[in-house]
Amino acid sequence: MTTRTTCPYCGVGCGVLATPGAPVKGDTAHPANRGRLCSKGTALGETLNHPNRLLFPEVDGKRASWDAALDAMAEGFRTALNEHGPDGVALYVSGQLLTEDYYAANKFAKGFLGTANIDSNSRLCMASAVAGHRRAFGEDLVPGIYDDLEQADLLVLLGSNTAWCHPVLFQRIQAARAAGKRIVVIDPRRTATCEGADLHLALRPGSDVALYLGLLAHLHSAGFPVPEAALEPARGLDVPALTGLSAQALATFYAWFAATPRTVTLFSQGANQSSAGADKANAIINAHVAHGSLGLPGGGPFSVTGQPNAMGGREVGALANMLAGHLEWDRPGEFEALRDYWQAPRLAPRAGLKAVDLFNAAAEGRIGALWVMATNPAVSMPAGDTVRQALKCVPMLAVSDCVADSDTLALARIRLPALGWGEKDGTVTNSERVMSRQRRFLPAPGEARQDWWIVSQVAARLGWGRHFAWKNPAAIFREHAALTGLARPANRVFDISGLADLTDAEYDAMEPTRWPVARRGELGGRLAPAARFVPTAFRAPVNAPGGDLPFILNTGRLRDQWHTMTRTGQVPRLMAHVPEPFLAMHPADAVAPDGALVRVEGSHGQAVLRLRHDAGQRQGEVFAPMHWTEAFAQGARINSAVNPAVDPVSGQPELKHSPVAVEPFPIRWQGFVLARRQLSLHAAWQAVVPLEGGVWRHELAGGDAPAQRFAALRDACALPDAAWVVLEDAAGGHFRAAALKDGRLLAVVFIAPDHLLPPREWLAGLFAETAIGSAARRTILAGAPASGPAPSPTICVCNGVSRATIEAAIEGGCCSVAAVGETTHAGTGCGSCRPEIASLIAVARQPEPA
Ligand SMILES: Nc1nc2c(c(=O)[nH]1)N[C@H]1C(S)=C(S)[C@@H](COP(=O)(O)OP(=O)(O)OC[C@H]3O[C@@H](n4cnc5c(=O)[nH]c(N)nc54)[C@H](O)[C@@H]3O)O[C@H]1N2
Ligand SMILES: Nc1nc2c(c(=O)[nH]1)N[C@H]1C(S)=C(S)[C@@H](COP(=O)(O)OP(=O)(O)OC[C@H]3O[C@@H](n4cnc5c(=O)[nH]c(N)nc54)[C@H](O)[C@@H]3O)O[C@H]1N2
Ligand code: SF4
Ligand SMILES: [Mo]
């Protein structure tokens, strides 16, 4: 049985076909991807059968019945309401909830707890774009559709690593790249997205508003109408100095933009995660309004969403400063309309606390009950250590999650097992306003239940049962859809009331549907909303580097990881691309050799990462991926070092810009252990990596005595009947051991005084061998084969092709991505690695430095 459903990762919202026991396939009938998938989507099947699911409710660390857990929830909320009133209870939810779950959570908080303290991880993600849309269009609207990205003659990718974060959009763009189409990337670092771009503007971080003000002034001088108020902040602005871009590069970009009616600016976290995020959105919109490209096919501003249902959360209004269905407190009659529709006399009368303020309130003891759903704030919030402290201050911290061991769950008093992808049922909305069904195709594991059900049961125990008496997600969807058609004093574009009378069967069969759908049968398309110019003045990021914190820390994503790695971290082939947490730094800045460990220290905390020299970084700036958690790498959570500065309009944290210091991490030894199971080891620094074939890689470093540590690590492998071959050079600080039994390798332990250890890939491969002879035993401790190519990281995860193999093919004369594919099969699977193959070709073509 094949089920048509939707990928649970990014906001592209690809349709997938799921058949239990077979690999997941792209749905050729889905408008977002037409059959394509990226590396994460392709590996979805491998994330099922998660080894570490939360299967039963738990209260105070003990298994509890649902009845007991739900009673404890209700009691926790009652106590907090009595002690603090509605301002002292809160929910923190997520764009990974389905629309129906999201709607239920928002109705519970705002309608019945009477608090608008319900915020979402969308605050860290989309809040600035939402604020920009509301200021310009009076409503949170994304005008464009994906076809516009294909039809644009000039595509500007601003603060977006599209190749890695919206890979199927990137594939669509590349496939539709007709002669003459230009791509400009605006990003301080050189990313995979820059491959094949016509222009890369490596601007100073945070200077996008200045760049777009310069564009507005240029458009004005080229005859496009711009109101004086919007132009004013551009006067006298030294754009080259503020952006660090040459006058020539600026002139080229501005001239292309002015001359190309079909121009799209696609923007993402480089714009949103900024203390000027809302202004960046409006500066972009202003330029398109002046240019006349807003609403044109192939034109306009295009905010792409991150999470699978970031849009759905915005539609149901589950952010602290919004009501449901795009209704607003400050528009006459809307609050009353919602209050009457929900029959909710306690409806929250005003906006609540945004994420950063919410966790600050918790730290101050002002939050008596907090319910976290489908997000991992202990890892993903800035000033991570402070947030962990705050979570510990909440008397009733409840967490609903699918997995049993997130960093946030570890702090919870009540743990509620939620259904995950493939088990839950409902809808999601992607970046182009297309609502798609996520359908169930797996049985519920253990006692896990869908989030909306859990909400409805807590509500019932608080006496509000009849308002939450839905029998299925279809019933919630109908209530939500009808709400969007409420007679409103001001018209809203977001209207899906044409879907309010879907039967259960029609809902189950619902095809991907773009809003607005005001009447049954109608379908939404590209929007051309009336837009206001919102004057934006340039402001530098809140915290400038200097003094003790001389570097700017930028953070973001990797191709094959999803957020806090709860799913992708379980899949060896997705771990193969980048196995360890790292810090990228320009070689001229390097404070330590490539591969050494460094400490990154910010105003609120620190993290230890492996240093990577990377000429694609601007000097003075460093970059770290956001993904690693305490569970995967002790001491390597980058958000400990990220500052909690926020945008004054949107409240979105400035996750892309934190002043930090970077220095060598003092250690006496570094090492690794490969074993056939995950070991519980403790060291000053550690990263754990699952490898193919059931092998676990443990990277370790410490300041204790290496000889004792070597003995302890061998003991920790707990292999009493294995034969160990051992090499000890106590004076040099080198210790190596391999445990074998019946010709099979069971474990290796390597320790060195620094990071110069043999590559792990070859050793890991030996675990698959069944008859390791005596000659081979010696090479194990050498850490390298007697002959043959050195191992290298996997670039193509679909076909397991390493960088060395690709480089050999290029050396052998393959000079295009297609030719490399024919020779090595690299890039012929999902295609996510094609930009990296292109970059290896480009590097090989560069002349040798004299
Ligand atoms: N593989 C993968 N894909 C994902 C996700 C994932 O975890 N993994 N997560 C999804 C989610 S929730 C989101 S929100 C999206 C995010 O998608 P993106 O926004 O594309 O991803 P990021 O890597 O966070 O940041 C994008 C780029 O912004 C740049 N940047 C930093 N500062 C500035 C600046 O001041 N100006 C400009 N112009 N650029 C700047 C960074 O260098 C970075 O390359 O990805 C989604 N897709
Ligand atoms: N430094 C830095 N920090 C960042 C960012 C950055 O670029 N830099 N990006 C920010 C952005 S844009 C985002 S979106 C956030 C993401 O950060 P988080 O939302 O914290 O990350 P996830 O790992 O996706 O957490 C989702 C959790 O929900 C669980 N889950 C999945 N599905 C369900 C479900 O149906 N029900 C329930 N109850 N649980 C479920 C998963 O098991 C997982 O534990 O990180 C933000 N933090
Ligand atoms: S681009 Fe990849 S991660 Fe995003 S929805 Fe499509 S398959 Fe999933
Ligand atoms: Mo996001």
My answer on whether 439 and 574 are in the same domain is no
Q: Is the Cβ atom of 12 under 6 angstroms away from ligand 3?
A: yes
| Cα-to-centroid distance, 273 and ligand 4 (Å) | 10
Q: Is the pLDDT of residue 459 over 90?
A: yes
My answer on whether 368 and 502 are in the same domain is yes
For 229-269, how does the pLDDT look when each residue is reduced to its tens digit (9 = 90+)?
999 999 999 999 999 999 999 999 999 999 999 999 999 99
Would you place residue 440 in the very low, low, confident or very high pLDDT band (cuts 50, 70, 90)? very high
In a 10 Å sphere around its CB, with 0-12 CB exposed, 13-18 middle and 19+ buried, how is residue 514 labelled? middle
Q: Which two tokens stand for residue 424?
A: 């839950």
Would you place residue 655 in the very low, low, confident or very high pLDDT band (cuts 50, 70, 90)? very high
Q: Is the pLDDT of residue 349 over 90?
A: yes
651 in Cβ contact with 123 (< 8 Å): yes
Q: Is residue 545 part of a domain?
A: no
Residues written for the chain: 850
Distance CA 73, CA 550 (A): 46
| Cα-to-centroid distance, 571 and ligand 1 (Å) | 22
Pocket test for ligand 1, best of 47, 121, 130, 165 (most atoms within 8 A of CB): 165
Query: Which residue, 782, 808, 828, sits at the end of a domain?
Result: 782
| Cα-to-centroid distance, 814 and ligand 4 (Å) | 37
**Residue whose CA is closest, atom 2 of ligand 3?**
38
Q: Is residue 541 part of a domain?
A: no
Q: Is the Cβ atom of 285 under 6 angstroms away from ligand 2?
A: no
Atom of ligand 3 nearest to the CA of 13: 5
Q: Which two tokens stand for residue 3?
A: 């089920």
Least Cα distance to 369 among 72, 103, 61 occurs for: 72
For 69-88, how does the pLDDT look when each residue is reduced to its tens digit (9 = 90+)?
999 999 999 999 999 999 99
My answer on whether 332 and 446 are in the same domain is yes
My answer on whether 436 and 395 are in the same domain is yes
Would you place residue 850 in the very low, low, confident or very high pLDDT band (cuts 50, 70, 90)? very low
Atom of ligand 2 nearest to the CA of 400: 38
Average pLDDT of the chain is 95
Q: Is residue 530 part of a domain?
A: no
Query: Which residue, 286, 303, 320, sits at the end of a domain?
Result: 303
pLDDT at 702: 96
Give the pTM: 0.95
Q: Is residue 534 part of a domain?
A: no
pLDDT at 848: 55
Q: Which ligand is nearest to the CA of 52?
A: 2
pLDDT at 490: 66
Distance CA 288, CA 219 (A): 10
Q: Is the pLDDT of residue 400 over 80?
A: yes
Distance CA 363, CA 354 (A): 14
My answer on whether 163 and 209 are in the same domain is yes
Query: Which residue, 456, 488, 514, sits at the end of a domain?
Result: 514
My answer on whether 681 and 595 are in the same domain is no
Q: Can you tell me which residue has the tokens 């920790």?
A: 716
Residues β-bridged to residue 157: 185, 266
Q: Which ligand is nearest to the CA of 170?
A: 3
| Cα-to-centroid distance, 190 and ligand 2 (Å) | 25
Atom of ligand 2 nearest to the CA of 97: 35
pLDDT at 480: 98
pLDDT at 847: 65
pLDDT at 685: 95
516 in Cβ contact with 435 (< 8 Å): no
Domain hosting residue 187, numbered range: 132-303
My answer on whether 709 and 731 are in the same domain is yes
Q: H helices within 403-445, ranges in order?
A: none
pLDDT at 145: 98
For 511-544, how does the pLDDT look when each residue is reduced to its tens digit (9 = 90+)?
999 999 999 988 899 999 999 999 999 999 999 9
My answer on whether 739 and 638 are in the same domain is no
791 in Cβ contact with 763 (< 8 Å): no
Would you place residue 570 in the very low, low, confident or very high pLDDT band (cuts 50, 70, 90)? confident
Of 317-321, 657-661, 834-838, the poorest mean pLDDT is in 834-838
589 in Cβ contact with 551 (< 8 Å): yes
| Cα-to-centroid distance, 376 and ligand 2 (Å) | 5
322 in Cβ contact with 328 (< 8 Å): yes
Q: Is the Cβ atom of 168 under 6 angstroms away from ligand 3?
A: yes
Q: Is the Cβ atom of 41 under 6 angstroms away from ligand 3?
A: yes
499 in Cβ contact with 481 (< 8 Å): yes
**Residue whose CA is closest, atom 38 of ligand 1?**
159
Least Cα distance to 432 among 514, 531, 498 occurs for: 514
pLDDT at 849: 52
Distance CA 282, CA 536 (A): 7
For 156-204, how does the pLDDT look when each residue is reduced to its tens digit (9 = 90+)?
999 999 999 999 999 999 998 888 899 999 999 999 999 989 999 999 9
Q: Which ligand is nearest to the CA of 375?
A: 2
Distance CA 306, CA 256 (A): 28
Q: Is the pLDDT of residue 545 over 80?
A: yes
Determine which helix (DSSP H) or strand (DSSP E) holds 623, and give its type and residue range: strand 621-625
Atom of ligand 3 nearest to the CA of 12: 5
**Residue whose CA is closest, atom 30 of ligand 1?**
270
Enumerate residues lining ligand 1, CB below 6 A.
10, 125, 158-161, 164-165, 186-189, 191, 205-206, 208, 268-270, 274, 306-307, 554, 556-557, 559, 561-563, 656
For 752-809, how does the pLDDT look when each residue is reduced to its tens digit (9 = 90+)?
999 999 889 889 999 999 988 877 777 888 887 766 656 678 899 888 898 889 999 9
Q: Is residue 421 part of a domain?
A: yes
| Cα-to-centroid distance, 121 and ligand 2 (Å) | 7
Residue 30 CA: distances (Å) to CA of 9, 33, 139, 147, 170:
16, 6, 27, 13, 17
Q: Is the Cβ atom of 307 under 6 angstroms away from ligand 2?
A: yes
Determine which helix (DSSP H) or strand (DSSP E) holds 497, and give its type and residue range: none
435 in Cβ contact with 99 (< 8 Å): yes
Instruction: Quickly count: other Cβ atoms within 10 Å of residue 346's Cβ.
Output: 15
pLDDT at 768: 93
Q: What percent of the chain has pLDDT over 70?
A: 98
pLDDT at 54: 97
Residues lying with their CB under 5 A of ligand 4, a single-atom ion: 125, 306
Atom of ligand 2 nearest to the CA of 556: 7
Q: Which ligand is nearest to the CA of 374?
A: 2
84 in Cβ contact with 368 (< 8 Å): yes
| Cα-to-centroid distance, 125 and ligand 1 (Å) | 9
My answer on whether 659 and 677 are in the same domain is no
Q: Is the Cβ atom of 438 under 6 angstroms away from ligand 2?
A: no
Q: Is the Cβ atom of 37 under 6 angstroms away from ligand 3?
A: yes
Q: Is the Cβ atom of 306 under 6 angstroms away from ligand 2?
A: yes
Q: Is residue 627 part of a domain?
A: yes
The tally of domains found in the chain comes to 6
Q: Is residue 523 part of a domain?
A: no
Q: Which two tokens stand for residue 208?
A: 């996008």
Q: Is residue 244 part of a domain?
A: yes
Q: Who's near 524: CB < 8 A, 6+ residues apart?
A: 433, 514, 515, 516, 517
Atom of ligand 2 nearest to the CA of 95: 14
Distance CA 478, CA 484 (A): 10
| Cα-to-centroid distance, 166 and ligand 1 (Å) | 9
Distance CA 314, CA 606 (A): 33
Domain holding 188: CATH number? 3.40.228.10
Domain holding 800: CATH number? 1.10.10.1100
Atom of ligand 2 nearest to the CA of 563: 23
My answer on whether 739 and 633 are in the same domain is no
Distance CA 779, CA 740 (A): 14
| Cα-to-centroid distance, 98 and ligand 2 (Å) | 14
| Cα-to-centroid distance, 306 and ligand 4 (Å) | 4
For 581-640, how does the pLDDT look when each residue is reduced to its tens digit (9 = 90+)?
999 999 999 999 999 999 999 999 999 999 999 999 999 999 999 999 988 999 999 999
Q: Average pLDDT, stretch 47-60?
A: 93
Amino acid sitting at position 6: T
| Cα-to-centroid distance, 39 and ligand 3 (Å) | 8
Q: Can you tell me which residue has the tokens 């360890």?
A: 580
My answer on whether 621 and 705 are in the same domain is no
My answer on whether 32 and 155 are in the same domain is no
Instruction: Quickly count: other Cβ atoms within 10 Å of residue 334's Cβ.
Output: 21
| Cα-to-centroid distance, 243 and ligand 4 (Å) | 25
Domain holding 11: CATH number? 2.20.25.90
